[in-house]
Structure 1
Amino acid sequence: MRVLIVDDEPLARARLATLLKECDDVDIVGSVGDGETALSVLSETQPDVLLLDINMPGLDGKALAARLANRTRPQIVFCTAYEAHAVHAFDLGATDYLLKPVGVERLRDALKRVRQRLDAQPREHVAWLHARVRGEPVRMALDEVICLLAEEKYVIARRSGDQLLLDESLRQLEETYPDQLIRLHRNCLVPAHRLIGLKTLTDGRVLARLAGTDFSPEVSRRNLPALRKLLRLG
């Protein structure tokens, strides 16, 4: 089982890592201190479960869980010092809710629940985009995409470290993946899970803050209300 630890307290992350070493069939694929970083490493680490704190700066645990609520993976196990969020946590589809300090037997029980839930569900279908590199066809997972930009005759798929040319138009991609892609303006789509915030400039323009990159594409006035609603609803 692939586990990603998400907690803003280094000591809490270290304790969970120590406890996980006492659990069978566990691979710690990462340990990060905030929700935005967790979002940015999901496609790279492919965790089966997040051990997720709730009270964190920026994108907190509940907001992150809401972003991932419709996915089979990763499952969410909250690890928090507060009982008050338990009802909302299960409303978000959490598999379990652990109170700090977490004990190893309680952690093993939570991981057992995760395995049972994953075994009962088929692995999610991976969405692939078809691109070209030096004229040769390749494919890339949609989860790897940072944004899709229309430039002249082509659509450019930007991902960490490079960019690829796609044959499909933005409209075709938007119609193919209506639940996974959101429009920022007429020349730009982004995967919904990448959008973590908005930034208003002094001249009134609004830029999108995307997980996993410093690139901030501009948002059109037409699409701004829908994006604000999406962020407000998590």
Structure 2
Amino acid sequence: MNKLTVVLVDDEPLALRLLQSMLEEHQDLDILACCRNGREAVQAVSEHSPDLLILDVQMPGINGFDVVRSLQADTMPLVIFATAFDQYALKAFEVHAVDYVLKPLDPRRLETALERARQRLVQMRSEGEEGNQEEKKRLMRSFEERGNNSNPSAESAAAHTASQRLAIKDRGSITMVTQQDIEWIDAAGDYMCVHAKGETHVMRSTIKDLQKQLCPNLFKRIHRSTLVNLNFIVHIKVLTKGEYFLTLSSGAKLKVSRNYRLPIKEFLDFNKQASLTTPQTS
């Protein structure tokens, strides 16, 4: 039986021991390290490459979110936040946390979080294998096309076809996300949060490098840290200072800064059916 490897992080010794004792009852878990602060957590993840990181949010020095931001994409484990404060829940899921468990810890609620981590890990490994197989098939098709057709336009078409899928690497696995399914993308430090089909995929990249991989006809930069797929825009609110607010089909709301308003203005001019509201002051 493959065990789920775990690193625990909490600056309160009693809370850390309680969490450890609760997890030791699970025979499918292997606790690799118990850390008392964020620095120890970053070092433990780097040394052990665990499947799962269970950590507190509020810690002196490096807090829980700082720990996540400090990790490299290829060593990023699944994350469950365990904290006494509920106000960080939204931010936790924005960094792709598996779950957010409140203290005092309830064994049943903790088990639910662990089960989600188990399922996510199985899914990641499955998608990684499928992604690798698909990538091999794509490369074989590319080699065959180059061998049978030396026409530069044919090679360009093949490259364009390959570019319609975005490869998101995470801990040795690769998730292939169809570009047309990506609704919007926002930057979080050195990472990009790719929102597609109700899920958020996290990849290490700059927004400029990622934009080069995306179809320019679909994706437009609307802020220094945001890209949007034009096909998902369902409502546009125009403000008097030259800014816009976009509502996407999922209900997500994005602000368009004045420096990046031109693509949306062109989109409005092209699509006369876009829904506009009366200009308002911000």
Q: Structure 1-normalised TM-score?
A: 0.51
The equivalences for 1:76-155 within 5 A come to 76-122=79-125, 124-125=171-172
Alignment of 1:1-234 (within 5 A): 1-68=4-71, 70=73, 73-122=76-125, 124-125=171-172
Change (3 A) 1:97 1:69: farther
Q: Distance in 2 between matches of 1:76 and 1:8?
A: 17
User: Structure 1: where are the runs of 5+ without partners?
Assistant: 127-177, 180-234
Equivalents in 2 of 1:8, 1:96: separation in Å?
A: 20
Checking the alignment, whether the CA contact within 8 Å between 1:3 and 1:48 is kept in structure 2 is: yes
Shift of residue 41 of structure 1?
A: 1.9
CA contact (8 A) 1:34 1:57 kept: yes
Q: Determine if contact 1:6/1:31 at 8 Å carries over to the other structure.
A: yes
Give the superposition deviation at 1:67. Answer: 3.1
Gaps spanning 5+ residues in structure 2: where? 129-170, 174-203, 206-282
Q: Which residue identity is paired with 2:52?
A: V
Question: Shift of the alpha carbon at 1:70?
Answer: 4.2
Q: Distance in 2 between matches of 1:71 and 1:106?
A: 29
Residue 45 of structure 1 deviates from its aligned partner by: 1.9
Match of 1:44, SS state, is helix
Structure-2 separation of matches of 1:21 and 1:86: 26
Deviation at 1:71, TM superposition (A): 5.2
* Deviation of 1:60 (Å): 0.4
Cα distance in 1 for partners of 2:66, 2:46 equals 18
Offset of 1:105 from its aligned partner?
A: 1.3
**Alignment coverage as a number of residue pairs:** 129
**Distance (Å, rounded) in 2 between the aligned partners of 1:2 and 1:44:** 13
Give the number of the structure whose alpha-carbon radius of gyration is greater: 2
Q: Would the aligned equivalents of 1:69 and 1:93 in 2 still touch at CA under 8 Å?
A: no
Aligned CA RMSD, in angstroms, stands at: 2.3
Q: Which segment drifts farther, 107-116 or 117-126?
A: 117-126
Paired residue secondary structure (1:18): helix
Asked whether the equivalents of residues 8 and 34 of structure 1 are also in contact (C-alpha less than 8 Å), the reply is yes
Residues 183-220 of structure 1: CA deviation (Å, up to 9, x unaligned): xxxxxxxxxxxxxxxxxxxxxxxxxxxxxxxxxxxxxx
TM-score normalised per structure 2: 0.42
Report the Cα distance in structure 2 between the residues aligned to 1:35 and 1:24, rounded to whole angstroms.
27
Residues 22, 104 of structure 1: 8 Å contact kept: no
CA distances 1:117-150 after superposition (whole Å, capped 9, x unpaired): 1111136339xxxxxxxxxxxxxxxxxxxxxxxx
Identity %, equivalent residues = 40
Structure 1 or 2: more helix by fraction = 2
The one-letter code of the counterpart of 2:172 is: H
Distance in 2 (CA, whole Å) between partners of 1:116 and 1:91 is: 19
Displacement of 1:66 in angstroms is 2.6
Higher-RCO chain (CA-CA 8 Å, sequence separation at least 6): 1
